[in-house]
Structure 1
Amino acid sequence: MNGLNDGNLTHVNSHTQLAKTAHGVRILAKNLNRATIKLHMRSVMIITKARDNSLIYLTKELTEWLLEKNPHGSVYVDHHLENSKRFDAQGLINDLPSAKDRIKFWTKDLIRQHPDLFDLVITLGGDGTVLYCSTLFQKIVPPVLSFALGSLGFLTNFKFEDFRTVLSNALNFGVHTNLRMRFTCRRTISMGLYVGIIR
């Protein structure tokens, strides 16, 4: 069987080999979960529903806080907010002149070309927003800190109203990660049977 380090792992010869590989991944994830990661938040990305008016104000509030607390860091928000009157990027710059070159706007192309640009991703929303984030980053995945708006979901660990405390603790003391495995499934028809293929 190919090793865990082999990027060309495309098949296994038996269920036993697959189980051993999965067990190895779980042990590795468990060991990594014990490590404290000290964040160097030079570039923070915020993901939310850019067309949801109520979320735009919360995104602005979070952006302003990050720019004030992290005076040398940049904050990337969805490019749809660049000309948004509700987000009012120019108003943020007027209130905090040092933010002029630190408010930036992300696009899918930017992420695809520079996935290693971001030191932290913050999601505002629900589990769907976290899953959307997962689709944006396919190989290099930065730490994702998810804030729930409303009831807590399976993937949204923190309440938005606590963001100042949570982010201050993350900046000062670091974070522990919880690695999540992703599977891609597709259906094919073979001899009249539907076969789920995990790749």
Structure 2
Amino acid sequence: MVQVKKDEVRQAILEAAWQLFSQQTYQRTTLTHIARKVGISSANLYVYFDSKLDILYAVYEPWMRRRLLQIESDIASVRQPLDRVRQILRALWKEIPAEENGFLNNIMQALSTVEKGERYKRSLLEWMETRIGDMIHAALPAERRRSIDKARLARVMVMALDGYSIHRHISARGLADDKTVEMMARLLIGPNDRAKRPRSRTRKPAKRR
């Protein structure tokens, strides 16, 4: 007899998985832990998901999509190119790797231990690269857009995001510092940066006669 899937059970599985992955990481969480927290048998988990990796993607993907869309919304009102690029890099390399007790590192753990037969969803990575590439490319001055390969730039940004996620897992100080963000932002903007703060005009004291 085929079991009927229930939306409330699926949602309970996702909520339990999110809590366990956040608290004790992907590696230390088992399907038995998730099933026990929901109050169902481990066998029943397979009615809803194919594997632990499948469950992780189901909680990770909507979170990451919301987070990147939030960055887009946050920078929409930022006018200066340098400020926009700074804000994007700060979010990618400092904020996201640290959020939700370093939740991003769970996907790093999962991908490093993928077993034969488990599904790897490349579609999310492709969407992330496209979105990040578009954000940064749009923030650059026109002359820089023509000289920078958007797809390759996005790939480097995501690789750095993954790296900072791993470093943060090892040490709370393993995130990009402000100097790194500033250096990369200025490299991307290039030498013709017009987003510098205007110099304060100070009047020279009048010469006495």
Question: Normalised by the shorter chain, which TM-score bucket?
Answer: under 0.3
Larger strand percent: 1
TM-score, structure 1 length as denominator?
0.23
Larger helix percent: 2
* Structure with larger Rg: 2
TM-score, structure 2 length as denominator?
0.22
